């Protein structure tokens, strides 16, 4: 057979202490997260450089995710601390303002009392007394009071100014953090997506590694999902001819289902089907040959895929079929079709994909390498390289 298709933050101290404790906890949690996330089991020598490279990519993605999580946690903690400090100031500022007002009232009242009790113009008649010692004490008291009150008023006024400035700064900081947190959330989400993709990439690489080590056998598990297979095909630019309203995603799922049923690697069979071009429903060029005028036709995509999977199983010597033998390939009669499968002359002659060229599936001696090359590109795309 020869392929014809083309490739495709009094109570304030408590709050501040709590905020500092929370922030320290966040920092510790972030450190633990970094230590945990960046721990990736070392690749065993048998896994090869491919798996090691994907593991390295996962470790880098985990480190980026830990950094993003740390930035987000720090911003949230700072916003909560700023909010707690603002709450303290919202209580402290009215208290300071009330203390200043009370002191100013006290000074005014004292001035009124001094004025009412004054006889001379000095306003110190209140100090008149027959006891010189008492008069001295009163004079000294008045002197001290005259110094204390203005100083205390100024201190309270300055304190309130500082509190108001601090309040404005904290409000700005809180608002800036509130604006930044959504961005940090998006960074975190993006980093988490990278980790998920890289984690999946490791799973893909680990799934393929033993199959590569075994020489790329035809028989074995299907590593890629139908969605991954279809996504690769679409990204390749290929335009396969499909009929019956089926989609590329449905075709890919058929390869997964049929391959899994027969223990044939359905993802590699998918790569084979779209390594070149073929007629509708005959994706792998069944029946095509150098001197033939055409190739086999199949009424549905499932029929063509089932026949391809069964022929691959026959070449690999993979044992009895699970699904009924294709009457569109082996023989029109089910009994005869079963007999033809059982007696296939090339049964077991190509257990690996490297054996599928040079006259088995196709006459092209590089046929197997071309199929595996396409499969490698599919794997690379699924690994997120």
Q: Which 3-state string (H, E, C) describes 126-154?
A: HHCCCCHHHHHHHHHHHHHHHHHHHHHHH
124-128, 245-249, 283-287: least confident range: 124-128
State the residue for tokens 């830990």: 66
Residues 358, 288 share a domain: yes
Q: What is the mean pLDDT of the chain?
A: 81
Answer yes or no: is 323 within a domain: yes
Q: Residue 317: left (phi > 0), alpha (psi -120 to 50), or beta?
A: left
> With 60 as the cut, is the pLDDT of residue 350 above it?
yes
Task: Kindly state the average pLDDT of the residues 190-197.
Answer: 92
Task: Kindly state the average pLDDT of the residues 348-356.
Answer: 93
Confidence class for position 261, pLDDT limits 50, 70, 90 = very high
Confidence at residue 22, expressed as pLDDT on a 0 to 100 scale:
45
Q: What is the pLDDT of residues 362-371, one digit of tens each?
A: 888 889 999 9
Confidence at residue 23, expressed as pLDDT on a 0 to 100 scale:
45
Tell me how far apart the alpha carbons of residues 119 and 381 are, in angstroms, rounded to a whole number: 102
Count of domains for the chain: 2
> With 50 as the cut, is the pLDDT of residue 29 above it?
no
Confidence at residue 32, expressed as pLDDT on a 0 to 100 scale:
37
State the residue for tokens 């095909």: 233
Answer yes or no: is 7 within a domain: no
Task: Kindly state the average pLDDT of the residues 311-316.
Answer: 97
DSSP conformation letters of 230-275: HHHHHHHT------TT--HHHHHHHHHHHHHHHTB-HHHHHHHHTS
What percent of the chain is helix, strand and coil (3-state, nearest 5)? 70, 0, 30
- CATH at 24: 1.10.287
Q: Which residues does 362 contact at the CB level (< 8 Å), separation at least 6?
A: 1, 2, 3, 285, 356
Tell me how far apart the alpha carbons of residues 66 and 96 are, in angstroms, rounded to a whole number: 44
Residues 291, 179 share a domain: no
> With 70 as the cut, is the pLDDT of residue 27 above it?
no
Q: Calculate what percentage of the chain has a pLDDT beyond 90.
A: 49
Closest by CA to 280, choosing from 254, 314, 246, 310, is 246
Tell me how far apart the alpha carbons of residues 157 and 48 are, in angstroms, rounded to a whole number: 73
Residues 125, 81 share a domain: yes
Cα atoms in the Cβ-side hemisphere of radius 13 Å centred on 371: 28
Confidence at residue 157, expressed as pLDDT on a 0 to 100 scale:
85
> With 70 as the cut, is the pLDDT of residue 219 above it?
yes
Answer yes or no: is 23 within a domain: yes
Identify the domain boundary among 156, 172, 205.
205
pTM of the model: 0.67
Residues 272, 158 share a domain: no
Answer yes or no: is 219 within a domain: no
Task: Kindly state the average pLDDT of the residues 203-208.
Answer: 93
Closest by CA to 40, choosing from 18, 57, 27, 17, is 57
Residues 156, 27 share a domain: yes
Residues 261, 115 share a domain: no
Confidence at residue 33, expressed as pLDDT on a 0 to 100 scale:
44
Higher pLDDT, 138 or 19: 138
Answer yes or no: is 62 within a domain: yes
Answer yes or no: is 18 within a domain: yes
Answer yes or no: is 2 within a domain: no
Tell me how far apart the alpha carbons of residues 141 and 145 are, in angstroms, rounded to a whole number: 6
The total number of residues written for the chain in this structure:
385
Residues 138, 93 share a domain: yes
Cα atoms in the Cβ-side hemisphere of radius 13 Å centred on 289: 6
Residues 155, 72 share a domain: yes
Residue span of the structural domain in which 96 resides: 12-205
Closest by CA to 85, choosing from 9, 32, 183, is 9
Residues 274, 185 share a domain: no
Answer yes or no: is 215 within a domain: no
């Amino acid at each position: 057979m020869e392929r014809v298709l083309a490739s495709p933050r009094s109570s304030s101290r408590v709050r501040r202490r709590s905020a500092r404790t929370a922030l320290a906890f966040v920092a510790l949690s972030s450190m633990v997260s970094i230590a945990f996330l960046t721990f990736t089991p070392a690749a065993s020598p048998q896994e090869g450089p491919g798996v090691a490279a994907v593991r390295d990519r996962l470790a880098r993605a985990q480190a980026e995710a830990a950094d993003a999580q740390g930035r987000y946690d720090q911003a949230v903690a700072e916003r909560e601390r700023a909010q707690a400090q603002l709450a303290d100031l919202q209580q402290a500022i009215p208290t300071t303002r009330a203390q200043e007002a009370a002191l100013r009232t006290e000074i005014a009242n004292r001035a009124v009392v001094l004025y009412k009790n004054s006889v001379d113009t000095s306003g110190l008649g209140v100090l008149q007394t027959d006891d010189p010692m008492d008069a001295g004490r009163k004079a000294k008291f008045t002197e001290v009071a005259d110094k204390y009150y203005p100083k205390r008023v100024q201190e309270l006024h300055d304190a309130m100014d500082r509190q108001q400035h601090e309040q404005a700064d904290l409000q700005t900081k809180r608002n800036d953090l509130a604006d930044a947190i959504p961005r940090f959330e998006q960074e975190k989400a993006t980093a988490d997506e990278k980790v998920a993709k890289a984690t999946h990439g490791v799973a893909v690489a680990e799934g393929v590694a033993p199959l590569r080590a075994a020489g790329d056998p035809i028989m074995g598990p299907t590593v890629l999902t139908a969605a991954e297979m279809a996504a690769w095909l679409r990204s390749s630019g290929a335009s396969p001819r499909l009929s019956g309203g089926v989609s590329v995603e449905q075709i890919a799922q058929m390869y997964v289902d049929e391959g899994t049923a027969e223990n044939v690697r359905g993802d590699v069979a998918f790569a084979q089907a779209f390594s070149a071009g073929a007629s509708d429903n005959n994706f792998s060029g069944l029946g095509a040959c150098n001197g033939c005028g055409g190739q086999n036709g199949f009424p549905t995509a499932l029929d063509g895929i089932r026949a391809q999977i069964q022929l691959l199983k026959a070449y690999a010597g993979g044992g009895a079929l699970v699904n009924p033998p294709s009457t569109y390939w082996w023989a029109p009669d089910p009994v005869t079709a079963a007999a033809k499968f059982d007696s296939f002359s090339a049964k077991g002659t190509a257990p690996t994909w490297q054996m599928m060229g040079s006259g088995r599936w196709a006459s092209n001696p590089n046929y197997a390498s071309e199929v595996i090359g396409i499969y490698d590109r599919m794997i690379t795309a699924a690994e997120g390289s």
